[in-house]
Amino acid sequence: MDISSDMQHQAMGYDRTATMFSPEGTILQVEYAQKTVRLGSSSIGMVCSDGLFILADKRSDDKLVVSRTANKIFEIDSHIIASAAGIVSDARVLIEKAQLISQQHRITYDSPIEPELVVKEISNIKQQFTQYGGARPFGVSMMTAGFNGDKTELYVSDVTGNYFSYYANAIGENDEKIKEKLREKYKRDLTVKKGAKIALDIFKEIQGGKFDINRFELAYIETKDKKIMRIDGENIKNF
């Protein structure tokens, strides 16, 4: 009877630590963490002609939960927002670190930090936890959007510590399907309102009968005032 490569690796112990490579050149604990991310709730981020936004599925419809405590979009600084997919408690640690980095930069240089500097620091922390023993990788992918002066920027960092800049991207459940739709529908001249409608339509198409507008929240920053605005539920339709 043939044994799958995953079972062989587990039997030989290649997945017992984040510091051990498998014969195929992969780190299995990191691959497992990436699978965890794809089980997390989805977010779509987009850079638009008049600003940027992140639309996130909170995936929480429990009437007993106070809705404001189930937010999936976080304020890093007055000009930077972020969302996460995967283990939310892991994300909280990284979000708080990002907030601290931003505050320290303002105190030291009396100016807002560039989004990429925040992303780079967080990505460096993620990378460290794929290299040293006694700890597991962060099971979270982070999407960060913000202003660098008047320039809008969107970054996504994965569990390995790699990060790239994007015009539009998605993280979490069904991320590949969502990205295929974004490649078809995204245009550089989209406004925040039109982009948010496209993102919402993509969620509606992919989730089908499970789609519920009340599970979603939208955070956006427009170029004209550079203030973080939040809306959720039915208010997103009106927006």
Position with higher pLDDT, 49 vs 24: 49
| Residue 1's pLDDT band (cuts 50, 70, 90) | very low
Closest-CA residue to 80 (of 113, 57, 121):
113
Predicted structure pTM score: 0.91
Position with higher pLDDT, 189 vs 233: 189
Average pLDDT of the chain is 91
What are the tens digits of pLDDT across the range 88-127?
A: 999 999 999 999 999 999 999 999 999 999 999 999 999 9
Average pLDDT over residues 178-202: 96
| Residue 137's pLDDT band (cuts 50, 70, 90) | very high
Burial of 53 (0-12, 13-18, 19+ CB in 10 A): buried
Q: What is the pLDDT of residue 81?
A: 98
Q: Strands of 216-222's sheet, edge to edge?
A: 168-171, 43-48, 51-57, 216-222, 228-232
Average pLDDT over residues 203-218: 92
Domain ranges of the chain: 27-238
Q: What is the pLDDT of residue 65?
A: 80
Residue 140 contacts residue 159 (beta carbons within 8 Å) = yes
Q: What is the pLDDT of residue 11?
A: 46
What are the tens digits of pLDDT across the range 9-32?
A: 554 677 777 778 888 888 888 999
| Backbone phi, psi, residue 78, to 5° | -65, -10
Domain 27-238 has CATH 3.60.20.10: yes
Q: Range with the lowest mean pLDDT among 56-65, 116-125, 188-197, 223-232?
A: 56-65
Average pLDDT over residues 211-220: 93
Kindly tell me if the per-residue pLDDT of 5 is higher than 70.
no
| Residue 237's pLDDT band (cuts 50, 70, 90) | confident
> Residue 67 is inside which H or E element, if any?
none
Residue 192 contacts residue 231 (beta carbons within 8 Å) = no
Residue 113 contacts residue 100 (beta carbons within 8 Å) = no
H-helix segments, the chain? 5-12, 28-37, 88-109, 115-128, 175-185, 192-207, 234-238
Q: What percent of the chain has pLDDT over 70?
A: 95
What are the tens digits of pLDDT across the range 154-187?
A: 999 999 999 999 999 999 999 999 999 999 999 9
